[in-house]
Structure 1
Amino acid sequence: MTGTLITVAPTGAESSKAAVPALPVTIDELVATAKECEALGAAIVHVHIRDEAAEPTLDRGRLRDTVAALRQSTDLIVQLSSGGAVTDPEGDRLAVLDAGPEMASCTMGTVNFGDGVFLNRWEFIVDLHSRMQERGIVPEYEIFDLGQLTTLQRLLGQYGLPAGGHVHVDLVMGVPGGMPGTAGALVACEQVIRDLPAGTTFSATGIGRSTIPVMLASLSAGGHLRVGMEDTITYAKGRAVESNMQLVARAVGFAQLAQRPPLTTAEARDLLGVPAR
Structure 2
Amino acid sequence: MSTDHPAILTCAISGSLADRDQCAAIPYTPAEYAAEARRIVDEGGVHIHIHARSPDGRPSYEIEDFGAISQAIRDEVGDAAIINFSTGTIGVPVEKRIAYLEACRPEVAALNMGSMNYAKYSARRKDFVFQTIFPNPFDEIVALLRAMRDLGIKPEHECFDVGHVGNLAPLIDMGLLEGPLHADFVMGVTGGIPPTARNLAAMADNLAVVGEALPVADGPAGERRAHHWGVIGISRVQWTMLAAALALGGSVRVGLEDNFYLPDGTMARSNGELVAKARGLIEDSGRRPATVAEARAALGVPQRGA
Task: Give the structure-2-normalised TM-score.
Answer: 0.86
Q: Where does 1:185-224 land on structure 2 (aligned, <5 Å)?
A: 185-197=199-211, 199-224=226-251
Q: Which one is further off, 171-180 or 66-75? A: 66-75
Which residue of the partner structure matches residue 167 of structure 1?
Answer: 181
Which residue of the partner structure matches residue 88 of structure 1?
Answer: 92
Which residue of the partner structure matches residue 150 of structure 1?
Answer: 166
One-letter amino acid of the counterpart of residue 187, structure 1: A
Question: Does residue 1:100 correspond to 2:114, yes or no?
Answer: no
Which residue of the partner structure matches residue 260 of structure 1?
Answer: 287
**SS class of match (1:79):** strand
**SS class of match (1:240):** coil
Structure 1: unaligned runs, 5 residues or longer = none
Whole-angstrom CA distance in 2 between matches of 1:66 and 1:241 = 22
Question: Residue 187 of structure 2 contacts residue 194 of structure 2 at CA under 8 Å; is this kept in 1?
Answer: yes
4+ runs deviating over 6 angstroms: none
**SS class of match (2:167):** helix
Displacement after TM superposition at 1:188 (Å): 1.3
Displacement after TM superposition at 1:106 (Å): 0.8
Question: Residue 166 of structure 2 contacts residue 210 of structure 2 at CA under 8 Å; is this kept in 1?
Answer: no
Question: Residue 130 of structure 1 contacts residue 159 of structure 1 at CA under 8 Å; is this kept in 2?
Answer: no
Whole-angstrom CA distance in 1 between matches of 2:262 and 2:279 = 15
**SS class of match (1:116):** strand
Q: Where does 1:1-277 land on structure 2 (aligned, <5 Å)?
A: 2-74=5-77, 75=79, 76-83=81-88, 85-98=89-102, 99-114=104-119, 115-162=131-178, 165-197=179-211, 199-236=226-263, 238-277=265-304
One-letter amino acid of the counterpart of residue 51, structure 1: S
One-letter amino acid of the counterpart of residue 142, structure 1: E
Compare CA radii of gyration and give the structure with the larger one.
Answer: 2
Displacement after TM superposition at 1:72 (Å): 2.6
**SS class of match (2:75):** helix
Question: Residue 86 of structure 2 contacts residue 109 of structure 2 at CA under 8 Å; is this kept in 1?
Answer: yes
User: For each residue in 1:142-164, what CA deviation from the matched residue of structure 2 results, as whole angstroms up to 9, or x when unmatched?
Assistant: 001110011012211213324xx
Percent of aligned pairs sharing the same letter = 34
User: For each residue in 1:112-138, what CA deviation from the matched residue of structure 2 results, as whole angstroms up to 9, or x when unmatched?
Assistant: 222122211101111111111111001
Whole-angstrom CA distance in 1 between matches of 2:176 and 2:61 = 28
Task: Give the structure-1-normalised TM-score.
Answer: 0.94
Displacement after TM superposition at 1:93 (Å): 2.2
One-letter amino acid of the counterpart of residue 209, structure 1: R
Q: How many residues align?
A: 274
